[in-house]
Structure 1
């Protein structure tokens, strides 16, 4: 039997572990319904302009006070892994940044908020028998959370603006502000117009889009079908020029409900507590930067930065152990890496792995930590014949207190407007690869910088080249499910071992994944070829020595990456031994324990994952409130 709660302040209706896209909205919804909710977040409430300014999203993901640095293996084979130029030998892996701050990874992502079209929702309907997983049901949840502030796409021929709006079915009263880069921004940099024109030209030529059909289209409009191909604008989670996400949702709800919502930061949960087969609470470590993925150093903006958290008094390594109890349920929302780690530390996982580490087995759950998968991404990067004039005189960074502030950041500070109010991406192209099962499975993002994956220092390096055109290719609806998350030890502060087993090391279907990624790279090269007016001088990545399909495959095999990891505690049918959860997010084999984060997906819905996790959080809220009505 676990120890009894030491006091009423340690007992809540629900304990939610994690404040990201899964846990944050769920906790807010439960508290708004009148339940007493505790949110435990391992990071702190670090707040600086890297978080708030949309274009600083790369620096946010490398802010030591806001990110965890996981180093993952793309390949088990050491020789193949070393071919990846992003590989960090000292860490024996490739950087995979995750958020560690109030708001989880919504504090460090690229802000892309794309409604997740695709057949994956229907598969969940079939697995669970629950029509509430349908794409249409998810569309209604998306409308409920969306607060659309952007300029809509132009009406199609023969369509009025009112008809377009009715078909788009945007939400305008939700808690998540979404918008697009304001069209008047583009003319401030003529070369941006040239690049946007190149994306449009590629879309019209490749897909036969008539000139009277205005581009870009709105990928989040309800009448944009799952097999849409063409140029699209990029919806972003930006509210009045600043990043917004679960952090703002939690803080707003806490202000509204008072003591019903308690948020504790710098609190690393170490295991789930049980009474028999029922989860009744969690044990935690109250310590700043307790987790081993915490980077060294601190945010460069902390000295004198308005609103920045002061350095803690005393020894940062000081540790306090504690427990928190839930009278109703415990919800794990730690994410694709941390949720399976916590389940296994609590005795729920593959029998052999738990026994190897001497962990008492509560539930033999062979699916915990399995089914790890991701999308694949790769870039084409070109050098232009001169720097972008718009960037002249700008550091493309937030200045330190003793540094002169440039005009672009002054514009953002003054009006929350200008280029810094965007996530830095100019235009998108959505397409179907040759291996598509019907839904569009490629998204290409054109941007005026060199981004070719994650590695230490990538954000600062991307700002050094002021004469770059990058086209990032994302291959969605991937088939490889061969990755895994396993424990290195029983130490809850030690990050798990994360192996994706790319392509040939993975499960059947990896050949199609690679073929589709190469299709996307070919389209990206078309965009660059059409951007001659922007002054393209030469291709830097992959480079002139990589031309044939076989050469592109070999290059993409070792140089690609991903940042939408999911699936390690997946939902499944009742007769599926590898399914960890039922359709209402319950962990099988125990009571009072659910999982609500990206680990629940058998397959990633759509093309970008943050919106899908938000929708999972809304559905889980409905399930819990149906079982535990408003207080």
Structure 2
């Protein structure tokens, strides 16, 4: 029967990685199964792709960790064909959706942005489930627990004392005397280091930077009336006052970077395994093919122990069907953490899902749960790309990719290797803006950030384009809390075949007066207003995307519907109450109509939270650790 343990965790990403480590630390024997390998440990190129923050784009196209999904945004072929990023798969137009098959999951190639969701995102789950442990003020403690903040001084330091006085004065001036301490909700002893980019990097382009900030200040004062997040919070989107008040304004984006290096679940898992070697087994290159049941109780996992089995792997094997399958048994529970695409796929392959869909494919039904694979959600994101009058000096001396074998590292990589500083120690974003698309919203719904490079969205070869042009600047407009609901369905009963994925964006292109579409439109118009100010000052030569041909609101709406993409897939195994027939999970992550089975990953949310989903997943991983340990004891 192979390995036996207390818990089997399937997937090592933001949900499964920290969860497995926490359970092992609590004294349980845990088997963590990851379908990908560990490219960081396999070669120097793999190490650089993982550790150097600026290489996050290139890492999505690094074949040893790259997993390629091809998705639809629309059911209608004519509408889908309008996307300039389209690729043909099996004779139909799709859009490339990069994921990572590696230890750490997509945290091995994400942009490391670590921004908290608003408290209202958690309050919604508390409200629909009746479980007050999900309330925002309680969920905040999970972030404080995992964070090791490097950009706010820890309590007890001289700087913290000074900032405490400043914060108190600022709070009292606003009539808010609910001041806590200088940490303002941050944590300082957790496994997830947060830092901000070195401002000296941006100062290599003082003329452009100063001009950009002046234009931003004027635009924010005209549009919002304030810089809002302000000096008291150091423009920190994770300051507890920011989370509570949900202001708009300029922000400095926190990153999961320690001493210039990417940090994530991979390092946490390795630390725990070194300290508790008998409790944590890391099994890479192990594709889970089926959950094993005795009746309706999950008792183990069937898997294939071989690299390059899954169909999203560009190095995939030609005939996985010939490979032997093994089994691992769990004395307590099986916890599925494969993400919004693969978790519903594994559940359905195992007989947990919509009865009609399972019977169509001849899969015996263990639990009829029609919500499995439904409710697929994502952000909408588009870019406004402009040509600047001059190249960015901060890009000089860099190729923005690891050296080829036998080549010497470029100037910027040499600096990073020396002391973990410079442009390569950042993710490339210069500035961030949080904004409401309409004034009547309770919480801001737009996150707009600028980066010196050419970026129009994800398409094969995009990472080389980012570095190709030295004078392009992209405003990325991200729309939070979208209303799209797509699906993930089985393409076959082969566990290595990628599922069918359709986001049905903007109501499948048919929703009249779409509020999401109008929100993105407002974000694009705001970015354009910034560019108009920069053009008046001679900084910008021309707008390249969407370009002068898109002048009217209707033309911009069409551009957005054609080109919008996402990279935070979620919500396909949603949490809900007992009366919601589409709720796959209860508030303790348990799969309904089964025993010994939970899901902990991006798929659990009923609505997509916040702006950048990884922080929310880290937080639910901590919460799941608590409830699983509590249930075990």
Q: TM-score, normalised by structure 2?
A: 0.91
Q: Which of 605, 612, 624 is the aligned partner of 1:608?
A: 612
Provide the residue aligned with 1:301 in structure 2.
Answer: none
Q: Which of 573, 576, 592 is the aligned partner of 1:572?
A: 576
**What SS does the corresponding residue of 1:174 show, helix, strand or coil?**
coil
> Is the 1:442–1:473 Cα contact (8 Å) retained in structure 2?
yes
Provide the residue aligned with 1:201 in structure 2.
Answer: 218
Provide the residue aligned with 2:157 in structure 1.
Answer: none
Provide the residue aligned with 2:77 in structure 1.
Answer: 78
Q: Which of 458, 465, 469 is the aligned partner of 1:465?
A: 469
Provide the residue aligned with 1:140 in structure 2.
Answer: 141
Provide the residue aligned with 1:59 in structure 2.
Answer: 58
Q: Is 1:480 the counterpart of 2:484 in the alignment?
A: yes
**Alpha-carbon distance, 1:50 to partner:** 1.0
**What SS does the corresponding residue of 2:277 show, helix, strand or coil?**
helix
CA distance 1:423–1:534, change in 2 (3 Å): farther
Provide the residue aligned with 1:269 in structure 2.
Answer: 288
> Is the 1:426–1:447 Cα contact (8 Å) retained in structure 2?
yes
Give per-residue Cα distances to partners, 1:151-180, cap 9 Å, x unaligned.
5798569449xx796262211111100111
Q: Distance in 2 between matches of 1:560 and 1:93?
A: 13
Provide the residue aligned with 1:283 in structure 2.
Answer: 302
> Is the 1:227–1:432 Cα contact (8 Å) retained in structure 2?
no
Give per-residue Cα distances to partners, 1:118-177, cap 9 Å, x unaligned.
4221111112221111111111111000111125798569449xx796262211111100
Q: Distance in 2 between matches of 1:99 and 1:456?
A: 15
**What SS does the corresponding residue of 2:202 show, helix, strand or coil?**
helix
Q: Is 1:625 the counterpart of 2:625 in the alignment?
A: no
Q: Distance in 1 between matches of 2:295 and 2:135?
A: 35
Provide the residue aligned with 1:189 in structure 2.
Answer: 205
**What SS does the corresponding residue of 1:168 show, helix, strand or coil?**
coil
Provide the residue aligned with 1:108 in structure 2.
Answer: 109
Q: Which of 238, 247, 252 is the aligned partner of 2:266?
A: 247
How do 1:159-198 and structure 2 match up within 5 A?
159=170, 166=182, 168-190=184-206, 191-198=208-215
- Aligned residues: CA RMSD: 2.4
Q: Which of 1, 25, 44 is the aligned partner of 2:18?
A: 25
Q: Distance in 2 between matches of 1:504 and 1:339?
A: 24
How do 1:542-621 and structure 2 match up within 5 A?
542-621=546-625
CA distance 1:534–1:16, change in 2 (3 Å): farther
**Alpha-carbon distance, 1:99 to partner:** 1.5
> Is the 1:503–1:510 Cα contact (8 Å) retained in structure 2?
no
Provide the residue aligned with 1:34 in structure 2.
Answer: 27
Q: Distance in 2 between matches of 1:77 and 1:519?
A: 26
Q: TM-score, normalised by structure 1?
A: 0.92
CA distance 1:320–1:226, change in 2 (3 Å): farther
> Is the 1:73–1:81 Cα contact (8 Å) retained in structure 2?
yes
Provide the residue aligned with 2:323 in structure 1.
Answer: 319
Q: Distance in 1 between matches of 2:511 and 2:577?
A: 21
**What SS does the corresponding residue of 1:409 show, helix, strand or coil?**
helix
**What SS does the corresponding residue of 1:537 show, helix, strand or coil?**
strand
Q: Is 1:238 the counterpart of 2:257 in the alignment?
A: yes
**Alpha-carbon distance, 1:108 to partner:** 1.0
**What SS does the corresponding residue of 1:401 show, helix, strand or coil?**
coil
Provide the residue aligned with 2:43 in structure 1.
Answer: none
Q: Is 1:126 the counterpart of 2:127 in the alignment?
A: yes
Provide the residue aligned with 1:490 in structure 2.
Answer: 493
Q: Distance in 2 between matches of 1:610 and 1:378?
A: 20
How do 1:222-621 and structure 2 match up within 5 A?
222-224=240-242, 225-296=244-315, 319-434=323-438, 437-481=441-485, 483-505=486-508, 511-532=514-535, 533=537, 535-621=539-625
Q: Distance in 2 between matches of 1:461 and 1:330?
A: 42
CA distance 1:441–1:213, change in 2 (3 Å): closer
Q: Distance in 2 between matches of 1:171 and 1:164?
A: 13
**Alpha-carbon distance, 1:392 to partner:** 2.7
Gaps of 5+ in 1: 298-311
> Is the 1:20–1:333 Cα contact (8 Å) retained in structure 2?
yes
**What SS does the corresponding residue of 2:434 show, helix, strand or coil?**
strand
Gaps of 5+ in 2: 41-46, 154-159, 172-178
